[in-house]
Amino acid sequence: MMNLKLKVIASFVDQKDTVIDIGCDHAYLAIYLKKNNLAFDVYASDIHVNALNRAKKNIKEANLKITTYLSDGFKNINNEHIDTAVIAGMGADTILNIIKNVPLHIKKIIISSNNHHALLRKALYHRKFYIKKEEVIYEKGKYYVIMLVTRNAIKENFLSLKYGKSKNKEYFLYLKKKEYDVLKKIPKRKIFKRIKHKKNLFDLNLVIKRI
Ligand SMILES: C[S@@+](CC[C@H](N)C(=O)[O-])C[C@H]1O[C@@H](n2cnc3c(N)ncnc32)[C@H](O)[C@@H]1O
């Protein structure tokens, strides 16, 4: 079923895009995009045969034609028509491994990592990708960060790399509370650890002020 996260991802897709959903699982996103004519063409892939079989079954039931690939990231996908990739619902390490082999014809990547967003932003920056926009949504007790990434070596400031470009104030207030809770538990003698978390709080206050 389409959840809010997948709907926001879909809103980052343009009608001219030829999209592949890497790690499609049930293929809900691919089916939604195809059914509603939200992209020029749609493909779906997954590393696990069971997931891909689920995807194929759902595609068939929706009476749609969507080519699927059994593939670890881009490894078995040889299709130069594809210019946009979605990589969502995985950890930052897996996403970065997939992006290592991103073919040149992929001009746009929509990413939603389950963790380590600052690390992911910095790694993308070092690989000369540019995060054009970010949206943070709250669903079923959890925040999800969705990034629209292009190929552009544009200089970024440290606050954007650390906390992103979303304008979701509740999210930053939530991060601030988490940071306070961590700081409260650090013994006074652990000076360097305390300085690090105090700096995070200072930076979060700057981000919140900016909204
Ligand atoms: C939690 S599901 C996310 C499904 C959907 N993308 C979403 O965001 O709701 C993660 C999916 O990614 C697939 N996956 C994990 N590593 C992968 C890789 N290296 N290449 C392709 N698919 C991968 C898993 O098999 C699984 O179906």
Question: Can you give the residue ranges of every domain in the chain?
Answer: 4-154, 170-210
Q: ∠ CA(57), CA(59), CA(63), 5° rounding? A: 115
User: Which atom from ligand 1 is nearest to the alpha carbon of 73?
Assistant: 20
Q: Which of 4, 33, 56, 90 to mutate to test the pocket of ligand 1 (most atoms within 8 A of CB)?
A: 90
Distance, in Å, from the CA atom of 118 to the CA atom of 161, rounded to the nearest integer, reads 6
Give, for all 211 residues of the chain, the pLDDT tens digit: 899 999 999 999 999 999 999 999 999 999 999 999 999 999 999 999 999 999 999 999 999 999 999 999 999 999 999 999 999 999 999 999 999 999 999 999 999 999 999 999 999 999 999 999 999 999 999 999 999 999 998 999 999 999 999 999 999 999 999 999 999 999 999 999 999 999 999 999 999 999 9
Distance, in Å, from the CA atom of 62 to the CA atom of 60, rounded to the nearest integer, reads 5
What is the reported pLDDT for 1?
Answer: 83
Strand pairing category for 142-151 and 108-113? antiparallel
If you measure from the C-alpha of residue 76 to the centroid of ligand 1, how many angstroms do you get, rounded to a whole number? 15
Determine the length of the chain.
211
If you measure from the C-alpha of residue 36 to the centroid of ligand 1, how many angstroms do you get, rounded to a whole number? 23
User: Which atom from ligand 1 is nearest to the alpha carbon of 25?
Assistant: 27
Distance, in Å, from the CA atom of 131 to the CA atom of 22, rounded to the nearest integer, reads 19
Query: Which residues surround ligand 1 with Cβ inside 6 Å?
Result: 6, 22-23, 25, 45-48, 51, 72-73, 88-90, 94, 98
The correct answer on CATH 3.40.50.150 for the domain covering 4-154 is yes
Strand pairing category for 18-22 and 129-139? unpaired
What is the reported pLDDT for 25?
Answer: 98
Distance, in Å, from the CA atom of 155 to the CA atom of 161, rounded to the nearest integer, reads 10
Which amino acid, 151? R
